[in-house]
């Protein structure tokens, strides 16, 4: 039987886009956001985030983020 910790779905969203300014988190065009995907844990989300960030390293205005969806879905829990 699988370990209980492995069964947890701690969903994470990875997305990004081009920022208007390096000093803000406001995107230039919301219609052009890159939704990379939803991942079952932080480890896989971080790997996807790193891959996308590396692909866009030549554009200083491109930023990718990891959103902890599990915290939004169940804000009462710490994990």
- Predicted TM-score (pTM) of this structure: 0.82
Give me the domain span that covers residue 54. 4-73
The domain tally of the chain equals 1
Predicted confidence (pLDDT) per residue in 2-40, tens digit:
445 556 789 999 999 999 999 999 999 999 999 999 999
State how far the Cα of 3 lies from the Cα of 14, in Å rounded to an integer. Answer: 26
State how far the Cα of 46 lies from the Cα of 74, in Å rounded to an integer. Answer: 21
Give the distance from CA 37 to its chain's centroid. 8
Q: Is 79 inside a domain boundary?
A: no
**% of residues, the chain, pLDDT over 70:** 87
- Spatial contact of 15 and 74, defined as CB atoms under 8 Å apart: no
- Spatial contact of 16 and 56, defined as CB atoms under 8 Å apart: yes
Q: Is 13 inside a domain boundary?
A: yes
Given pLDDT bands bounded at 50, 70 and 90, which one contains residue 1? very low
State how far the Cα of 44 lies from the Cα of 58, in Å rounded to an integer. Answer: 24
């Amino acid at each position: 039987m699988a370990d209980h910790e492995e069964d947890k779905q701690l969903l994470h969203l990875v997305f990004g886009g081009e920022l208007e300014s390096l000093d803000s988190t406001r995107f230039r065009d919301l219609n052009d956001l890159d939704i990379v995907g939803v991942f079952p844990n932080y480890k896989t989300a971080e790997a996807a985030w790193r891959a996308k960030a590396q692909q866009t390293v030549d554009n200083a205005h491109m930023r990718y983020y990891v959103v902890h969806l599990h915290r939004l879905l169940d804000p009462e829990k710490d994990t």
